[in-house]
Amino acid sequence: MAVRIDHLALAAHDARESAQFLADIFGLSDPYEAGPFLAVDVDETFTIDYAAPPIDFPGQHVAFLVGEDDFDVIHARLEHRGITYWADPHQRWVGQYNTNDGGRGLYFDDPAGHHLEVITRRYGSGG
């Protein structure tokens, strides 16, 4: 049996703001309404659905595997928008990216406080 993630629901203080942020940074199609959610299609098999619950919530971590060219575009968008990013999850190396496993990676926060990661190679894939 193959198991794949179909969608992920994330809480947001402002669902529209967070959904549009994700779409803008990753160059994805605009968010659309899907029941009580604002959905962003990450690819043809995976969607992130945002909702604004009436409770406080902790930030979650979501990592995205992208190609080298896509990494360059995403990195440039973060720079252009003045969004702080880090090479490490502990937020020590500001404005840098890592070269773990022979690829590149960086971390940044979205408007809801979720910790997003962009990597070009899976962890443990080489070096």
The residue-averaged pLDDT of 105-117 equals: 97
Relative to beta strand 105-109, strand 115-119 is: antiparallel
Burial environment of residue 82 by CB neighbours within 10 A (0 to 12, 13 to 18, 19 or more): exposed
Residue 111: predicted pLDDT: 96
Q: Is the pLDDT of residue 63 over 90?
A: yes
Among residues of the chain, what percentage have pLDDT more than 70?
A: 99
Residue 85: predicted pLDDT: 98
Kindly indicate the confidence band of residue 127, based on its pLDDT and cuts at 50, 70 and 90. low
Per the prediction, the chain carries an average pLDDT of: 95
